[in-house]
Amino acid sequence: MDERDVPDSMIAAVFEGDGRLSITERPAPSRERPDDVLIEVEACGICGTDVHILEVPPGHPATPGVIMGHEFVGIVREAGPEAIGVESGQRVAVAANLSCGSCSSCKRGSPNHCEHFTTMGIFRDGGLAAFAVAPASACHKVSRDLPREIAALTEPLSCVVNGVEQARLLPGESVAVIGAGPIGLLFLALFRAAGASSVIVVEPMALRRDAAKRMSADVCIDSSSVDGVTAVREATSGEGADVVVDAVGSQLGAALAAVRVGGRVLLFGMNANSRSEVRQYDITRNELRVFGTYVGTDVFPKAARILESGVVDLSPMISHRVPVEDLPRALDAMRTGEAVKVVIDLKAGT
């Protein structure tokens, strides 16, 4: 396919503002900058952030009129003359968080904290459409041998890779993951592959616990019926886990109570409205290490290699694979807890 084969219009999922989503016709995009890449989108994952954008009032800011979708993969159909390292015909996953490269955070090597951060699918057009345009710097090669719904998980997996690197797990250590949504399940998969002796999952929803079991969690605790902290300690001979992950964004107190003396607490989930009561004495006296982890730097290639290696099987976490026209119903399933991970198949029927 070349520029002459790109249609004039396409069906896209557009955020209209005030909680409104429309599946509508939009003009197909074209390259504007010399380093732009035109991508024929294959698949796009739906994130909890997308659900928050569509809340009233919104739980996450976004630009009205934008094409949604920030977890996408596709085939390069055109590469601009300055699109270094990207060639037509390659499959690429897109790092949708774009940094400026010039602010103080970028210059000190922390582009994930860019002062002018923008994100495709949130503040500029993303991947919930047949075609998308991205800068070459955001495009990362991914094997065509991967099923497209798995390749679309490169973006969320990259964020989790960043967290796992901070946790510095040693083979034989135990892990407790609080929350078995898509992110919690990705942590489960990576810690299992990294040699954890046991991975304990704390989750109130049966559908998510079932996915965790199929992804080889050693213990799945139903926190709707038992105290999660007590159950984690019982599963670790009373000591607590070596590493505890809060994949929810409101479980700091529980994480501190479930970790062993000298252990590590990794905070990934984000909830701007959550407030946790913490006794600082416990952190000091027990020499706990508490890490916040956000997006990550230089983690996309690592995530792609992990998927290509086959060391993790992420298929059990994908509960819905649907065409873009079915996105509203899939979002409803996410809201009601009837979905784990939704992937929109932009090539459905082909």
Query: Would you name the residues annotated as active-site residues?
Result: 49, 52
Exposure string for 313-347, b = 16+ CB within 10 A, e = fewer: ebebbbbbbbebebbeebbebbeeeebbbbbbbbe
Q: For the purposes of burial, counting CB atoms within 10 Å of the CB of 118, is it exposed (0-12), middle (13-18) or buried (19 or more)?
A: middle
Question: Rounded distance, CA 14 to CA 67, Å?
Answer: 4
Residue type at 103? C
Helix (H), strand (E) at residue 228: helix 228-235
Question: Rounded distance, CA 42 to CA 45, Å?
Answer: 11
3-state secondary structure of 102: coil
Helix count and strand count (H, E) for the chain? 11, 17
The residues that bridge with 250 in the sheet, in sequence order, are none
